[in-house]
Amino acid sequence: MMRYGLLILVLLLLPTQGLAQERRITDATGREVSVPERVERVFAAGPPASLFVFALAPENLLGWTRTPRPDEAALLPKEYAALPTVGRLTGRGGSANLEAVMALAPDLIVDVGSTAPTYRDLAARVQSQSGIPTVLLNGRFDATAETFRVLGELLGRPERGEELAVWTEQQIEAIRAGIAKVSPEQRPRVYYARGPAGLETALSGSINIEVLDLLGVINVAGDGLGQGGLASVSMEQLLAWDPEMVLTVDPHFAQQAPRDLLWRQVKAVREGKLYLAPRAPFPWIDFPPGPNRLIGLPWLASLLYPDIFPAEELEEKVKGFYRLFYHREPTTQEIHALLRSARETDLVR
pLDDT, average across residues 46-68 = 97
How much is the pLDDT for 344? 53
Higher pLDDT, 277 or 346: 277
> How many other C-beta atoms can be found within 10 angstroms of the C-beta atom of residue 181?
10
Share of residues in the chain with pLDDT > 90 (%): 85
pLDDT of 347 above 60: no
Instruction: For the chain, give the mean pLDDT.
Output: 91
pLDDT, tens digit, 9 for 90 and up, residues 104-115: 999 999 999 999
How much is the pLDDT for 214? 96
- For the ranges 3-17, 165-179, 184-198, which has the lowest average pLDDT? 3-17
d(CA 241, CA 106): 49
- The band of 93, judged by pLDDT with boundaries at 50, 70 and 90, is low
How much is the pLDDT for 348? 42
- The band of 229, judged by pLDDT with boundaries at 50, 70 and 90, is confident
Helices (H), the chain: 47-56, 70-73, 78-81, 98-103, 117-130, 144-154, 158-179, 210-214, 220-225, 235-241, 251-256, 267-270, 293-304, 314-325, 332-341
How much is the pLDDT for 18? 43
Phi, psi of 144 (to 5 degrees): -55, -45
**Pick from 269, 280, 289, 290: which is nearest to 330 by CA?**
280
pLDDT, tens digit, 9 for 90 and up, residues 287-315: 899 999 999 999 999 999 999 999 999 99
Share of residues in the chain with pLDDT > 70 (%): 91
pLDDT of 89 above 70: yes
d(CA 329, CA 323): 4
Domains and CATH numbers, the chain: 4-175 (3.40.50.1980), 183-348 (3.40.50.1980)
* Contact by Cβ (8 Å): 233, 225: yes
Give Cβ neighbours of residue 56 (< 8 Å, ≥ 6 apart): 148, 151, 152, 155, 157, 160, 161, 164
Phi, psi of 243 (to 5 degrees): -65, 155
pLDDT, tens digit, 9 for 90 and up, residues 198-208: 999 999 889 99
- The band of 12, judged by pLDDT with boundaries at 50, 70 and 90, is very low
pLDDT, average across residues 332-336 = 96
Q: How far is CA 12 from CA 15, 40, 153, 336, in A?
A: 10, 20, 15, 51
pLDDT, tens digit, 9 for 90 and up, residues 123-141: 999 999 999 999 999 999 9
How much is the pLDDT for 1? 40
d(CA 204, CA 213): 7
Beta bridge pairs of residue 85: 64
Q: What is the number of H-type helices and E-type strands within the chain?
A: 15, 11
d(CA 133, CA 107): 7
- The band of 10, judged by pLDDT with boundaries at 50, 70 and 90, is very low
How much is the pLDDT for 267? 93
pLDDT, average across residues 33-39 = 97
pLDDT, average across residues 64-79 = 97
pLDDT, tens digit, 9 for 90 and up, residues 234-269: 999 999 999 999 999 999 999 999 999 999 999 999
